[in-house]
Amino acid sequence: MNQPDTGPAPVLALTDVSKSFGAVRALQDVSLQLLPGEAHALAGENGAGKSTLIKTLAGVHRPDSGQVLLDGKPVVFNGPADARNAGIAVIYQEPTLFPDLSIAENIFMGRQPRASLGRIDRRAVREATAALMTRLGVDLDPERLARGLSIADQQIVEIAKALSFDARVLIMDEPTAALTGSETSRLFSVVRTLRASGAAVLFISHRLEEIFGLCQRVTTLRDGRWVASEPLDGLTEDDLVRRMVGRDLDELYPKQATTVGETALSVRRLTREGVFRDVSFEVRRGEIVALAGLVGAGRSEVVQAVFGVDKADAGEVHVNGTPLRAGSPTAAMEAGVALVPEDRRQRGLVMEMSIERNIGLTGLGSLGSGGMVRRTLERGRATDWAVKLQLKYNRLSDTVGVLSGGNQQKVVLAKWLATDPSVLIVDEPTRGIDVGTKAEVHRLLSSLAAEGLAVLMVSSDLPEVLGMADRVLVMHEGRLVAEIPREEATEETVMAAATGRLTGKEKAA
């Protein structure tokens, strides 16, 4: 075993586990120990082996070599049901509940308590669910339908379901990626409650501040290999990043000096009733403008209206001085606007298609004639962009779904950059990708701006906003309330505007 863990006996452990898929070695001699009453972070870039490790613990994959130990004894999981019966539960980023069943029915599906004559004892189901919610310190009605629940509430239901199976180990895979700040705080409170009851928690997140705020120890993987298992106390974010990427990052926010040119995008009094109103701003060539604000402020809705995905009720958009027809993404593309959407899997990619076909989707007309696509042209375009963006892949003919999240984001960027836009809109460009790839995306955006592209960036990552933006536009409850130049933008000034508490330092928009 290659790590020096000591202390209480682990509930669950991996010892020198290796796992390969064909010629690809996903894990090589990896060890891990999960202790009772402890939150343990799993860190690493996309492609480091985190997903394979999780699936090995959850019974989806069986190791090629090495052992899985439960309470110190070797165990073989022949499937997820075996792992669940052993007290191991996985809480995924996007829960899968039955929408038309109640919370209580989802938790006890297939194993409801029975009353006389074999009928389901609905009262017992309801009371058991209420007891689980009380245990978690959460106020959710057991009778409420799952349909319409927020992602945060769905995750609570999944955690309650795990506890109903007497889970002793909870594996949480990017659980906060789609949560607001208050929802994340509530989830962390639940995790601390679980720890206090003796559960072992394995926590995976790309947000380093969450790892340091919640966990006691961290195991780092790099290229499928174990790097370190150590206490977080005394470790810095720079230390952890260095372990993850194997080098010092030159700069997470490599902002290049640029020459700001003419206005490329002009938005005037854009309004969509009930969503946002009277929004006006400009983005000039050579600058990165960030659209910031709390979740629900209307940021994504504004850029979707600019691009024509949603039709605005009033207002105008001009691109390079020419009016843009409202409600037409085709017109936006022809005018030189590109939109990298927030949800890359649902709106940015066709997951069943190949990498090369996804990259070529925005330029099918230039890749053939008569409705036929010339494969050599399609392959050539994809190869060029794969090199430019340092895409990590096996074959360009592979489906885009096999790529890591960071590489999927690069494919979306390649697809739109291939249109040679003058205005690039990126919505949450680094959400759910690792710190090394995040630095690459930032470097790319900075270099594009330096080449004269106008970049409009929507981001909930405040350090990203402060590190990359030349100007910060802040939205609050559907209105643009502040424009803050780079030299005056701080966490305090941006958050004051985002929460409706202008301090006087902001320039009113």
Q: Is residue 430 part of a domain?
A: yes
DSSP state of 345: I
Are 409 and 491 found together in one domain?
A: no
Are 25 and 90 found together in one domain?
A: yes
Q: Is the pTM of the predicted complex or chain greater than 0.75?
A: no
Are 328 and 438 found together in one domain?
A: yes
CA–CA–CA angle 330, 431, 507 (5° rounding)? 80
Domain boundary among 189, 216, 245: 245
Q: Is residue 480 part of a domain?
A: yes
Q: Is residue 107 part of a domain?
A: no
Give the pLDDT score at 370.
55
Q: 361: closest CA among 341, 345, 381?
A: 381
Q: In what order do the strands lie in the sheet with 314-319?
A: 276-284, 263-272, 314-319, 322-323
Are 76 and 207 found together in one domain?
A: yes
Give the pLDDT score at 379.
82
Tokens for 466, please give them.
């402060």
Are 358 and 505 found together in one domain?
A: no
Q: What is the CATH number of the domain that holds 285?
A: 3.40.50.300
Q: Is residue 386 part of a domain?
A: yes
* Domain extent at residue 389: 344-416
Domain boundary among 416, 434, 452: 416
Are 351 and 298 found together in one domain?
A: no
DSSP state of 6: -
Are 489 and 453 found together in one domain?
A: yes
Q: Is residue 109 part of a domain?
A: no
Are 330 and 385 found together in one domain?
A: no
Tokens for 357, please give them.
């076909």
Give the pLDDT score at 247.
63
Are 349 and 401 found together in one domain?
A: yes
Q: In what order do the strands lie in the sheet with 454-458?
A: 337-340, 423-427, 454-458, 288-293, 471-476, 479-485
Q: Is residue 253 part of a domain?
A: no
Are 90 and 160 found together in one domain?
A: yes
Based on the number of CB atoms within 10 Å of its own CB, is 74 exposed (0-12), middle (13-18) or buried (19 or more)? exposed
Q: Is residue 126 part of a domain?
A: no
Give the pLDDT score at 1.
44
Are 425 and 507 found together in one domain?
A: yes
Q: 329: closest CA among 365, 303, 297?
A: 303
pLDDT along the chain (509 residues), means of 10: 61 95 87 96 86 93 95 93 90 82 89 75 89 87 90 86 87 79 82 90 89 95 93 90 73 85 96 95 97 88 94 95 94 94 83 88 64 73 86 87 84 89 93 80 92 94 90 94 94 87 49
Are 270 and 398 found together in one domain?
A: no
Total domains present in the chain:
3
Contact indicator for 28, 207 with CB cutoff of 8 Å: no
Q: Is residue 119 part of a domain?
A: no
Domain boundary among 394, 416, 438: 416
| Partners of 293 in beta bridges | 475
